[in-house]
Amino acid sequence: MLEGRYMKKVRFNTAAAVFTSALLSSQVFAITDDPVDPVDPVDPPSSGTVRGPDPTLSALESTRSGPYSVRTENVSNLSASGFGGGTIHYPTNAGENMGAIAVIPGYVSYESSIEWWGPRLASWGFVVITIDTNTIYDQPDSRADQLSAALDHLIDESGSSSSPISGLVDASRLGVIGWSMGGGGTLKLATERNLKAIIPQAPWYSGFNSFDRITTPTMIIACESDAIAPVGQHASPFYNDIPNSTAKAFLEINGGSHYCANSGYSDEDILGKYGISWMKRFMDNDTRYSQFLCGPNHESDRSISEYRDTCNY
């Protein structure tokens, strides 16, 4: 299984690459066109994990994203312990005690392929770290360890008075997202560590697994025309392995290649809507987002070829 043979098919242009590079230095990511129903100002919550205005479909699908401005902080590979460095994305005006999410790429791939999740999720009230791996050839079990190390990095930084994310992370509310072998790593980590939510994307995992023990709410994003991690051999059986007593969902992108969850993919509005809703529902326990996960005819959207779930949740 060599994803590297197909990397030339990843759909993002030079401008997107430049944008990604710029985000690797500490800077402000300003959201100028707020698609959320007008709330001025957006008041941080005084208590609890429910934060922000009532969500709307247009806000969740907008690439301009959520109600919070986002700042980034570079994590060099020299200062990272257990992973290859990356970027922390955090809201500047969402209060404290936020859930923390780590996002990891796939085989022979880099942070740039999954970086878009960082500002997107952070703008909805999460502290997010998008990472590079120790080597681009690391296997899923190693990627699980690196996701765990990245979460620990966020917890440590939150406990440091000199860190820009001091006091922002609630260490009891952790989640991970991973693509391809990184997706396999997210499933593996859910068998080893207490997590609130995971999103494996086009997950690849070979050999024995214990996914039938997963109790973490899991949304698997599959790519219908995936030739590298075929849905029938990976995403679908992984979903079936997870007990029906676990909150879970299966979202298959119509006609999508193995790269359907990467930066530059044309349906980031779909991925963002479901990804944000999943994390808000289970990391923040915010039931306002259940309406986007349960109830509607998901397959009426031409971008979605199949949707399964264990609603209601």
Of these residues, 180, 257, 277, 305, which one is catalytic? 180
Nearest alpha carbon to residue 116 among 221, 262, 269, 253: 262
Spatial separation of the C-alpha atoms in residues 132 and 127, rounded to whole Å: 17
Residue type, 174: L
DSSP code for 19? H
Spatial separation of the C-alpha atoms in residues 127 and 116, rounded to whole Å: 14
Per-residue burial over 179-210, b if 16 or more Cβ lie within 10 Å, else e, is: bbbbbbbbbbbbeeeebbbbbbbbbbbeeebe
Nearest alpha carbon to residue 221 among 180, 174, 265, 282: 180
At CA 44, angle to CA 43 and CA 46, rounded to 5?
115
Give me the sheet containing 218-223, strands edge to edge: 27-29, 70-75, 86-91, 127-131, 98-104, 169-179, 197-201, 218-223, 248-253, 304-309
CA 69 vs. chain centroid, Å, equals: 18
Of these residues, 258, 263, 267, 298, which one is catalytic? 258
DSSP code for 184? H
Q: Is 258 a catalytic residue?
A: yes
Spatial separation of the C-alpha atoms in residues 83 and 182, rounded to whole Å: 13
Q: Is 298 a catalytic residue?
A: no
Q: Is 226 a catalytic residue?
A: yes
Nearest alpha carbon to residue 217 among 244, 245, 197, 187: 197
- The token pair at 246 is 């676990």
Of these residues, 34, 145, 226, 284, which one is catalytic? 226
Catalytic positions, written as ranges: 180, 226, 258
